[in-house]
Amino acid sequence: MRFSFIHAADLHIDSPLAGLSLKDKAVAARFAQAGRRAVEALIEQTIASKASFLIIAGDIFDGDWKDVSTGLFFARALGALDRAGIPVFLVKGNHDAASVMSRDLPYPGSVRVFSAGKAETVALEPQRVALHGRSFPHRLTADFVESYPPRRDGWLNIGVLHTSLDGTRSHDGYAPCSVEDLKRFGYDYWALGHVHAAAVVCDDPWIVYPGNLQGRSVRETGAKGAMRVTVEDGRIVEVTPLALDGARWAHVSVDVAGLSGEDEMLARSRAALAAAQAQSEGRPLAARLTLTGATSLHNQLIARRETLQDDLRAIGFQLAADCWVEQLKVKTSAPPRSLAAQAGADALDVDQLLRDAASDAEFAALLAELTDTIKAKLPKDLHDELDRSEALQRLADDARALLAGDAS
């Protein structure tokens, strides 16, 4: 007997793309529907592939709804699966646990939400599949993972769990456990959620993160989606990533070493941006563009970063209506100065001035206070964007460029 099922997680329906809304509300509005388009693609793929069932391993929502349209959208998606005769099995994660959701909507009878009170097993007789799962309760207990039931012999056993595993994957620690902990259950497949980067953690047994369905910031680049799992004669024979995202984020690095003119830099950046746009396969693209390499343009690029960023955004819109340069970062360096330039009697020692400023305790304290004030006003997803050391480095670079007198 051969069949397949779809494993998804972390839909975060109607999660705001905070990184874009703070930069350009009009662009953010165009990207805002990406999450819903990804959910629609998941439903369409599940039906088109004639999957036997769909698993969603937590964080369907991003927290309590702003209005009921979020819940109704998901209800409509589930209705399509119900009419196609495809059951859905889901657990609630930290973002949609009962402790953070004030209400819900009735789901079709073909949808099974695993209890938060204790782990439970659902048996699918036609496929001889036993699904074991538990939703997040109001408060996590130390024995959350240990409460999962033993495997059912002679069946394909699937564990559905929202977890950070050992907490080393840059996500908050929820339902912490190790790979060895999961192996001890003897299940054939662990359908995990919570970590937004897709990963096959282990293939004996299969321990899999599908990643989130839609990237929400420039920290979540590349294709996003779900996993299609193929079963043959009671054994998992294939786990295939499915790209289902409605928009994509990318880091684009451009080496401008040796270039001496802005036009050359813009042309090279355009080519790199065009390549990234092609890889997005027709999806809207938000790209962070970083310039690298040693160039005589270094000070000029730093001093004119915002103007050049606007120029690059215009170039992006020439490539596609939804090709957006989210940010331009300048990480170039100046070429080594000649001995004659270094020996100039009247030369201004810019680097020494900057070192003196950086070592000034009062200045450092003021910068830290300003950084923390700004950080407190930003959405949590953007906190990593404002790093004190990076802020100081950017100030130093700007000062160096202006004091050196090379900006035009």
Angle 332-380-30 (CA atoms, 0-180°, nearest 5)?
Answer: 75
Which tens digits make up the pLDDT trace of 83-126? Answer: 999 999 999 988 887 667 667 889 999 999 999 888 999 999 99
pLDDT at 85: 97
> Do residues 38 and 87 make contact, with C-beta atoms less than 8 angstroms apart?
no
pLDDT at 66: 83
Asked whether residue 350 is assigned to any structural domain, the reply reads yes
Closest by Cα among 162, 174, 165 to 59: 162
Mean of the pLDDT values across residues 299-328? 95
In this structure, the answer to whether residues 257 and 366 fall within a common structural domain is no
**Total structural domains within the chain:** 3
Q: Is the pLDDT of residue 54 over 90?
A: yes
Q: Which are the contacts of 81, defined by CB distance < 8 A and separation ≥ 6?
A: 43, 46, 47, 54, 87, 88, 108, 110
Q: Is the pLDDT of residue 378 over 60?
A: no
Q: Identify which of 67-76, 362-371, 373-382 has the greatest average pLDDT.
A: 67-76
In this structure, the answer to whether residues 87 and 222 fall within a common structural domain is yes
In this structure, the answer to whether residues 152 and 260 fall within a common structural domain is no
In this structure, the answer to whether residues 177 and 211 fall within a common structural domain is yes
In this structure, the answer to whether residues 188 and 79 fall within a common structural domain is yes
Which tens digits make up the pLDDT trace of 151-204? Answer: 999 999 999 999 988 765 555 567 788 999 999 999 999 999 999 999 999 999
SS (H, E, C) the chain: CEEEEEEECCCCECCCCHHHHCCCHHHHHHHCCHHHHHHHHHHHHHHHCCCCCEEEECCCECCCCCCCHHHHHHHHHHHHHHHCCCCEEEECCCCCCCCCCCCCCCCCCCEEECCCCCCEEEEECCCCEEEEECCCCCCCCCCCHHHCCCCCCCCEEEEEEECCCCCCCCCCCCCCCCHHHHHCCCCCEEEEECCCCCEEEEECCEEEECCCCCCCCCCCCCCCEEEEEEEECCEEEEEEEEECCCCEEEEEEEECCCCCCHHHHHHHHHHHHHHHHHHCCCCCEEEEEEEEEECCCHHHHHHCHHHHHHHHHHHHHHHCCCEEEEEEEEEEECCCCCHHHHCCCCCCCHHHHHHHHHCCHHHHHHHHHHHHHHHHHCCHHHHHHCCHHHHHHHHHHHHHHHHHCCCC
Distances (CA, A) of 372 to 365, 367, 375, 380: 11, 9, 5, 13
How much of the chain, in percent, has pLDDT values that exceed 70? 77
pLDDT at 336: 81
> Last residue of some domain: 223, 243, 263?
243
> Last residue of some domain: 315, 335, 355?
335
How far apart are the C-alpha atoms of 151 and 188, rounded to whole Å? 9
pLDDT at 339: 47
Closest by Cα among 35, 300, 305, 281 to 289: 305
In this structure, the answer to whether residues 46 and 114 fall within a common structural domain is yes
Q: Which domain holds residue 258?
A: 247-335
In this structure, the answer to whether residues 134 and 220 fall within a common structural domain is yes
Does 64 or 329 have the greater pLDDT score?
329
pLDDT at 242: 98
CA atoms within 13 A on the CB side of 173: 8
Mean of the pLDDT values across residues 307-328? 95
Supply the CATH number for residue 214's domain.
3.60.21.10
Which tens digits make up the pLDDT trace of 235-283? Answer: 999 999 999 999 999 999 999 999 989 999 999 999 999 999 999 999 9
Asked whether residue 340 is assigned to any structural domain, the reply reads no
Range of weakest confidence among 99-103, 177-181, 315-319, 326-330: 99-103
Mean of the pLDDT values across residues 356-370? 65
pLDDT at 251: 97
In this structure, the answer to whether residues 129 and 144 fall within a common structural domain is yes
Asked whether residue 317 is assigned to any structural domain, the reply reads yes
In this structure, the answer to whether residues 218 and 271 fall within a common structural domain is no
In this structure, the answer to whether residues 40 and 185 fall within a common structural domain is yes
Asked whether residue 341 is assigned to any structural domain, the reply reads no
Question: What pTM was computed for the model?
Answer: 0.83
Asked whether residue 360 is assigned to any structural domain, the reply reads yes
In this structure, the answer to whether residues 136 and 226 fall within a common structural domain is yes
In this structure, the answer to whether residues 89 and 126 fall within a common structural domain is yes
The phi and psi torsions of 194 (rounded to 5 degrees) equal 110, -45
Asked whether residue 233 is assigned to any structural domain, the reply reads yes
Mean of the pLDDT values across residues 51-55? 98
